[in-house]
A = this chain, B = another copy of it.
Amino acid sequence: MTSLGIGLIGTGFMGKCHALAYGSVKAVFGDVPATRLEVLCDVPAEKAEAFADQFGFARATSDWKDLIADPKVDIVCITTPNKVHKEMALAALEAGKHVHLEKPMALSLEDARQMLSVAERTGAKTIVGYNYLHNPAISHARKLIADGAIGRIVHFRGMVDEDYQADPDLAWTWRATKADAGLGTLGDLGCHLISLATALVGPVESLVAETRTVHETRPMGNGSSERRPVENEDIASALLTFENGVHGVVSTSRSAWGRKSYIGFEVHGTEGMITFDQERMNELRLYQNRGELAEQGFKTLLSGPAHPPYGQFVPAAGHQLGFNDLKVIEVHEFLKAISEGRNAVPSFREALHFEAVIHAIAEAGETGSRVRVARAD
């Protein structure tokens, strides 16, 4: 297998996560092409240089177009703020590069749809950073459902919360603007939940919703008495109708004190139930209406080698995967797809649906009416 050159734009939370994943994926899995960490881009140049040295990239640049133009780069990883995703992704695709894009794809659904269109025209491979999908516990939940372990699905509930915007005194930032951040908690957190809901139950057909901005203004900080409005939602909730007729409830808050990385869901079936919480990401809970009533109960399945690809990381159960390991699995999926000439999952196509749902929630929250989720085509 020919090795693949990596160009990474961004050195923050997700930038580092990508650097670590592309740096270790072959050691973990073995069955993928070797990766070369070729170019790292950030501004200013000094920052790019420092992180290139730390992360092990061959060179640094402060010009993302320079990175994209580099013939040694086969895959462009985009981990920049949301509002520049579109421009970078389109440029990379047009340059014939495969694109690993952090979520959400873009500020608007129209932009995301255009990105999909370009991707499918160029034939480049794409993947979007819906990393929680790659948790072996989630894969096992999907397998259990597919195998009929809980019968026919009849209901879904999900919540995704953090508390990074819970403090009323927190200073105003660009995250509060529609122009720079787009959606609020829906874009940051909600779309992750939708990615899981879709993977577990199927696509969403329509919904009603409510959205709330809990902290309507925020101080500008630095001793100023000025306050600026928060333009996007802190909390959003929706009643979903999936295409298969199943009814679901979802809710998200970026102002939920105590919740650090909470993504909880329940899948109700005619023969059992599955529940999960990302803050205990190595545990899946399963109830099955089987055997003696006196011995029925929720069973905690602790992730292990019986839940692939856990065993690629640790050959012993219960030892725990971490958040960064999910990105390694995502990168593995991408490299396998590229080397096999197939589409990765979730590509721009699947991601477009996730994002169509959150935009539908935002619209339903504003209009108070039922909204049909836009189709990819």
Contacts and interface: CB of A to CB of B under 8 A. Distances in A.
A166 B322 contact: no
Interface in A243-299: 247, 249, 251, 253, 255-262, 266, 268-273, 278-282, 286-289, 292-299
| Residue in A24, A149, A304 whose Cβ sees the most chain B Cβ within 10 Å | A24
A320 to B, nearest CB: 5
Nearest to A246: B212
Nearest to A241: B210
A255 to B, nearest CB: 7
A300 interface: yes
| Residue in A295, A320, A324 whose Cβ sees the most chain B Cβ within 10 Å | A320
A295 B286 contact: yes
Given A268-B255, A268-B257, A27 B13 contact: no
A59 interface: no
Interface string A143-168: 01000011100110101001010111
B239 A237 contact: yes
A45 interface: no
Contact of A318 (B208, B241, B261, B325): B261
A315 interface: yes
Contact of A251 (B16, B157, B214): B157
A235 interface: yes
B294 A214 contact: no
Given A296-B301, A301-B296, A370-B368, A314 B324 contact: yes
A362 to B, nearest CB: 14
A310 to B, nearest CB: 10
Contact of A307 (B212, B255, B294, B370): B294
Contacts of A280: 280
Interface residues of A, number: 98
A317 interface: yes
Interface in A14-49: 16-17, 19-20, 23-24, 26-28, 30, 34
Question: 5 shortest A-B CB distances, which residue pairs?
Answer: A260-B318, A322-B322, A258-B287, A294-B306, A261-B318
28 contacts: A13-B315, A17-B314, A20-B24, A26-B56, A27-B54, A34-B56, A154-B214, A155-B235, A256-B268, A257-B271, A258-B287, A258-B296, A258-B297, A258-B298, A259-B318, A262-B318, A279-B302, A279-B320, A282-B320, A293-B304, A294-B304, A296-B299, A297-B301, A298-B300, A313-B322, A314-B323, A319-B323, A321-B322
Given A239-B239, A313-B322, 5 more contacts: A20-B28, A261-B320, A293-B304, A298-B300, A320-B323
Interface of A: 12-13, 16-17, 19-20, 23-24, 26-28, 30, 34, 54-56, 140, 144, 149-151, 154-155, 157, 159, 162, 164, 166-168, 208-210, 212, 214, 234-235, 237-239, 241, 247, 249, 251, 253, 255-262, 266, 268-273, 278-282, 286-289, 292-302, 304, 306-307, 313-325, 368, 370
